[in-house]
Structure 1
Amino acid sequence: MTKSPPEPLRHVSLTRKVLVFTTRLVLTSINQVVVVPGWWLVMILVQLLRFVDYSFYQKMESLLYKHLLDLVAYWGWVEGYRVIESGADIQQLSSKRCLVLPNHQSTADIVTLFAVFHNKSEVTVNVMWVSDLELMFSHVGAVMKLHGDMFVRQKLGAAQREKTLKDVETHMRNKFVAKRRRWCVVFPEGGFFRKRKAASQQYSIKKGYPVFERLSGPRVFGVEKILQSVKEADPNYPFEYLLDVIIAYQDQSRCVGLPDWLISGKYPEKVHVHYTAVPVSTLKSEATEDLERSLFKIWAEKEQKIQNFYKFGYFESEDETHKVCVFSNFRCVSLNLMYIFVTVFCAWPGAKLLYSLIV
């Protein structure tokens, strides 16, 4: 069947927008005020296992980590966003060591990846994220930090960049290799597309690389340091694949932001995620310039796929399979109720104790 370009978003009445927005705001507030504290109470108790059985603690911590990422991903599912996957079957790569390289448009990109990972348990518990430092100052960022994820500052001078690359090397050795993580997610564009487009195009013209209209060019230093650090830390544990990820939103004139994902009240929207697995052994990476050319070649192919999608409705071929990432409503409700119960169960005795001390 011939595919067609993504359908435009349908008009939604102002009344519906207000009602949906208000409902979502109330539900999201309850989630933040009641569910998340319950999760943290359980996590604090689990910390005691560190001193009893560390291996069991790691399993419990990974399970709770998955729970919270699932809870965040559920927000978009309830809002009406449908994440649609195509390309390589990443379930087959879950046991491989992969460096995941998505394009970057907004904070919603992270939640989109939470959504595609949520039903791939082996990926979620064995993934490490390299994210912007600002994300660390959120409850999700604090959890990611506890899990061993890394946070870096994007805008750096030359001196600070060298220190950050050294920190990346140390982190990959002490966290990724030592904990035997399998996947590492990094946004090599170094920032949102709308903010980096002009500078990226200037750099491409200067270096003679393709000039992109829908992407920012990849920055090579972070990717190179991650690949090198893991290989040097354990020559028997190098990355096996670069997983090129395209995130494409239904409305090409704008990308979805985190507020849209949480409480927008808009009409349901589709988010397409396309995968291409590139064996690391096929990359020319002997020198920094070689790896940079290899990355720009991957990005040029990515640009063409995005253009195909918005023009024809497919990334690579008309017969490619598009699969909706489905959530279990029962599991969503169960997780929320479980952590609400924990919060209420612990908060009631705490409130009584506080009242008795005051009165």
Structure 2
Amino acid sequence: MYTINPATTNPDDETTTIKVNDATSSYGEAAPSFGISVGSNVKDPGNLTNDDFTFVNKATGQVVVGVPTDVGDYEVSLNASGQAKVAAVNPNYQFSAGSLVSGTYTINDVITHSEITVSRTIHYIGAGLRTPIDVVKTLTYDVATSKATGISTYTPQGSYAAVTTPTIAGFTNSGNVDAVTPEASTTRPVNPIVTVTYTPTNEIEYSEITVTRTIHYEGAGSQTPHDVIETIVYKVATNKTTGEVSYTPQGIYEAVETPDLAGYTNSGNVAELIPSATMIQPENSMVVVAYQAISKPGNGGSGSETNPATPGNDNNDNGNGTGTSSGSSNGTSISNVGNNKIVVNATNINRTTLIESNQHKLPQTNDDSDKADTIAGLSLLGLTLGLFGFKRRKRDEK
């Protein structure tokens, strides 16, 4: 009998080597069909399926049941059924373990990319109205999101620039803000805030201002008193740090008594005023005191008037010592001329009442008052001439 035994393969002999083909896929895709590459002296059975291969997770060393689906690297080798199929078509060889070379199956994650912009705000506090406005710096991040895990990785595409803190007179500050490059992270970055604090040195500058209160009189024509002006000095304290200003009075406005004027009433005296300290700059003020002429009633009558006797009055004396007389001249009645109670004509207009009425009517001007004096004067002249003629007729009649 002649027997031919299968030759044992040498791992160094590439002609008899069988190698599992490497394969790759992306996460979520269907698994590829796995196969082998054979040396020139051996045959490929051509009927291998994915069930003829064994998969071992390279990271953990664990055998995976079936074809892997998770992202990772896997060692792929022929299992018993696969080796049997190879042996069946290659009866002349006994394949050593070294002649059956494993392959690698890699499942790659699917990464999507996007961008976000993050802002770093430099926020200033402590300087009151002079506090600088916020400074905002932006930074772009690349966002790489894993399809397999849903985890995103945020990678900055630059740095936050340095910011110089403005100097403010009367304040110190907590310093400049340095440049910074954030690290990549799987935590979504938030908008950072850097606070710069100003601390006042509170330098106070002192000065003074003078404020007036004017008592202004009006309504009494030429008799109107002159204005009275009162002054108060205020101490002014200016905080050069905050810009705030305070005003503190150094006295009071004294009460002012309003002068009495004959023939006038007035709106009263001016009371004492005690100003208060304030943060608002005080202004000059004015108090107006008004005079009002006292109205006198006119003499109503029928054209004649009788007055008590006046010592030394010889106007139209009838010799009976009573000092009372009456008469007429051109329709004008005359009575007690010595007391300036004169009825100018039959309308019974009293001269004194006429003058005062016109003065009360126009207290700001002298025009109508002068006209009234002129009319009264002319009336008095006419009356005197009439009286002179009346006496002459009396003598002629004797």
Q: Report the TM-score when normalising by structure 2.
A: 0.17
Q: Which has the higher strand share?
A: 2
Q: Report the TM-score when normalising by structure 1.
A: 0.18
Q: Which has the higher helix share?
A: 1
Which of the pair has the greater relative contact order for Cα pairs under 8 Å at 6+ separation?
Answer: 1
